[in-house]
Amino acid sequence: KGATSSTAVNIVAILDNPARDVGFAVFNMRTNSIFLTQYNEGSSYINTCNMLKVYEPSEVLFPKSLFDSKLASIVKQELESNADNQNSAAKAKVTFIARKLFNENKGVEIIDTLMMDDNASIKSDTIAKYLSVSSLSAVVQYVEFIQELTFQPRSLRINYVACDGHLMLDSASISSLEIVRSLKYGNSHCTLLSHIDNTKTPMGKRIIRSNILQPLLDVNSLNARLDSTEEILSKEKEFFEIGALLAEFSSIDLSHLLTQFTHTRKNARGSCHTLVLNIISLRKMLSKLPKLESCMREYNTPILQAICSALKFPENESLQEEMDEIINEKSILSCKNKQQQIIFAVAPEIDALLDIGRKKYIETVEEIHEHHKHCQSEAGISSLKLKYNVRRGYHFSIEDKNGESHKMFIQKSKKGKQTHCSTQELNSLNVRLKEIIDEIYLMTDLVVNRLVESIRNHLSQLYKLSESIGLLDMLYSFATLVTLSNNYVRPEFCSEGPIAIKQGRHPVMEKQLQGQYVPNDTFMAESCNFQIITGANMSGKSTYLKQIATIQILAQIGSFVPCAFCNLRICDRVFTRIGNNDSIESNSSTFMVEMKEVTNIVQNATNKSLIIIDELGRSSSNIEGTSIAWSIAEHLSSIRAYSLFATHYTELSDLESLYPNIKNSHLRVTTTQDGELNYLYQIQPGNCSEDRYGIKLAKMLGLSSKIITESEHILDELLQQK
């Protein structure tokens, strides 16, 4: 569940067939995890667009045979739209590669040879899913090619994720609900994710982002998470201990660290140094596990017990001992340069030939220093300095004010006031030293790779360990949210029952208003599944709609929610059409964008969906807008989806008298003695009784009394003509 990421580290491969079945493979470069899925598409390829929104790839791969296809064209448009919405200069690119790379047989071979042993169900999950398996083949071969590496056996995590296992959020909903990106700031500030994200580790941040973009549908899983959050909150002492221990894992992304042991690079001279530093980092991470595992023993809920079991990691102690025995950490930290760190990386008495090589290295370096002293004495130059760099090796540096130097020096080159030079003997010693260093590098590489091979044998358990820490971090974040916020409660779920929310609040808006937010109740059932909401401008209609959608999403990731009581039915999709003046697509009119989004809703909504529509049809004429809104409202009410429809078209209120499942509500507004509007932000049953609120609002905002009087006169005339 951790493939999504806010940084562009995902590469996606896509393949379809004439029946519009689409295979989708996501390779996360940071964690070496691959997610496969296959689904059937409609003519607008909306599911593919949603997947691109969730995974935010840096590159999308297609076979060359799809160069002029409708799918490739739509994907390009979606990537451009995402880049524009994110104000990103680095737009994801589309690459067309050879069709032969999308090979089902090669994909099956990758599953058989490269997949870790911890996912035995993948073969049954991908039976007849040849498009996703072919996409897997393409993305793995492409990554190996561009990264110039070869993945080792049993080193990749491959999972098949069914699209029907998650609540589907379309692109418009992710954007308009400001789940991961703020419309105002263009970044993660003041988003739903930033509000609930109190994680302390990179693994936790990745998992919580993945979950909020793909909420769960399984009630048992949700209740298990909620049980865990409740237990974390119930044990105050352990709560603070866990927070402090998780903070110790904040500096290193364990999943990313483990990827460094999954492959060998071509032309990998010098990679030994990186491997050694990664081994040291892994050793430090493993040393912190016992304390966290000990603290987790106090918990009894199934998820927390499973995390505790994963943290035990029986081979932890023996693996740490093996690392300590082979890697000389103190010498590495005391060495000044990369070359010496590699030379002394392996502890003494591990490899006899390596020990001999290092002895020769020390003796040769000592000879070089003796030769330096001899040259100082022979030339009579006390300022003669011994320098070293990787390109030239050891050489001399003289501050030669007269521009002359002793005849014994060769290969002179002047830089400023310094003259760099060497001697025949020093050159000879450099050649010998280089041969010794090359031998040491080779032998060190062999020893280190034996240790890496031992680590690879535990990769599956180590990845589970990383995921367990991330999951614990997310649950701890949910618990922290409750402690930092007022009146968050555990949601209850039912399969067919009502949405019942008492004193619900929008979590982000409530924080911004600092206690001035007005809570509202919501009730929707089979008998009243469609709610038409009217009210004055600025009365809070849009916020009320977003409040319900965000509470639904929070509940379906297993979080507590901002209200006094909450009962929800599990919904399979959340659709939103939130009216605003900004065109999502630069080349489309606002009305065209409206119709595209509504078409998506009409084509894909089910009786289990939650639909939020705000000010539909206002970009067209009043008569046409009313007609379209009326017709769409009738259709959505007939499919029995739970729908909230905010509108200024008062004619839509008549639908309540025609259809028993449609109910009217309004956001209450009163008028003061001065004729000004008083916004109460309270949802009430029935139609909005306040009239001419547009003119009253204009008057409040300082429009001249002459214009206000004239507008009232014109309004009276128009009403008489009707």
- Taking the domains of the chain in order of start, what are their residue ranges? 10-165, 352-451, 486-690
Token look-up 């130059």 returns 381
Chain centre distance of CA 608? 27
334-344 exposure pattern, b = at least 16 Cβ within 10 A, e = fewer = ebeeebbbbbb
Contact 177, 576 (CB under 8 A): yes
Reported as a single tens digit per residue, the pLDDT across 644-667 is 999 888 889 999 999 999 999 998
Strand 157-160 and strand 59-63: pairing? unpaired
For the four alpha carbons of 129, 134, 135 and 140, in that order, the dihedral sign comes to positive
Looking at residue 670, its pLDDT comes to 81
Rounded to the nearest integer, the mean pLDDT of the chain is 88
C-alpha to C-alpha distance for 310 and 513, rounded to whole angstroms: 42
115-124, 238-247, 340-349: segment of lowest average pLDDT: 115-124
**What is the DSSP track for 634-678?**
HHHHHTT-EEEEE-S-GGGGGHHHH-TTEEEEEEEEEE-TTS-EE
Give the sheet arrangement for strand 573-578, strand by strand. Answer: 168-169, 573-578, 610-614, 642-646, 530-534, 662-671, 677-685
Please check whether residue 714 is in contact with residue 572, taking contact to mean a CB–CB distance below 8 angstroms. Answer: no
Half-sphere exposure of 116 (CA within 13 A, CB side): 21
Secondary structure (DSSP) of 56-70: --SEEEEEGGGTT-H
What pLDDT was estimated at residue 89? 47
Q: In this model, does residue 139 exceed pLDDT 50?
A: yes
Number of H helices, E strands in the chain: 27, 25
Give the pLDDT confidence of 343-358 residue by residue, as tens digits. 899 999 999 999 999 9
Structure-block tokens of residue 292: 């966290």
- Report the alpha-carbon distance of residue 195 to residue 199 in Å, rounded: 11
Nearest in space to 8 (alpha carbons), one of 135, 93, 74? 93
Q: Is residue 493 classed as helix, strand or coil in its secondary structure?
A: strand
Helix (H) or strand (E) holding 395: strand 393-399
Which residues are within 8 A (CB) of 218 and not within 5 positions of it... i.e. 6 or more apart?
A: 165
Within 13 Å and on the Cβ side, how many CA atoms surround 686? 6
Sequence-distant (≥ 6) Cβ neighbours of residue 605 within 8 angstroms = 573, 575, 611, 636, 639, 641
Average pLDDT of the residues in 685-706: 74
Least confident of 314-328, 640-654, 674-688: 674-688
- pLDDT score, position 266: 62
The better pLDDT of the pair 368, 127 is held by 368
- Per the structure block, which two tokens stand in for 311? 């943290």
pLDDT at 581: 45
CATH class of 352-451: mainly alpha
Q: Quick check: 262 and 462 in contact, CB under 8 A?
A: no
Sheet holding 385-389, edge to edge: 385-389, 393-399, 418-422, 410-415
> Is a pLDDT exceeding 70 seen at residue 150?
yes
Q: Which helix (H) or strand (E) holds 543?
A: helix 541-555
How far apart, in whole angstroms, are the C-alpha atoms of residue 722 and residue 499? 40
Phi first, then psi: what are they for 227, rounded to 5°? -60, -45
Is 690 in contact with 650 (CB distance < 8 Å)? no
For residue 715, give both structure tokens: 């309004």
DSSP string, 184-198: TTSSSTTSHHHHH--
Helix (H, G, I), strand (E, B) or coil at 264: strand
CA distance 620 to 379: 93
Q: Please give the biggest Cα pair distance in the chain.
A: 115
Residue 55 CA to residue 14 CA, distance in Å, equals: 13
Residue 518 DSSP symbol? -
User: Quick one: pLDDT band at residue 591, thresholds 50, 70, 90?
Assistant: confident
Structure tokens at 484: 């930092």
Q: pLDDT band at residue 419, thresholds of 50, 70 and 90?
A: confident
The packing angle between helices 104-114 and 130-147, to 10°, is 70
Question: Residue 527 is encoded by which pair of tokens?
Answer: 């008998």
Look at residues 408, 410, 416 and name the one whose alpha carbon lies nearest to residue 376.
408
Q: Residue 359 is encoded by which pair of tokens?
A: 């002895």
> What is the per-residue pLDDT across 165-220, written as a single tens digit (0 to 9) for each?
789 888 888 989 999 988 888 888 899 999 999 999 999 999 999 999 999 999 99
> Tell me, which fold does domain 486-690 have in CATH?
Rossmann fold (3.40.50)
C-alpha dihedral over 224, 228, 233, 237, to 10 degrees?
170
- pLDDT of the residue at 400: 64
Helix (H, G, I), strand (E, B) or coil at 523: strand
Q: Residue 32 and residue 34: Cα distance in Å, rounded?
A: 7
In total, the chain counts a number of residues equal to 722
In CATH, what number does 10-165 get?
A: 3.30.420.110
Helix or strand holding residue 131 (H, E) = helix 130-147
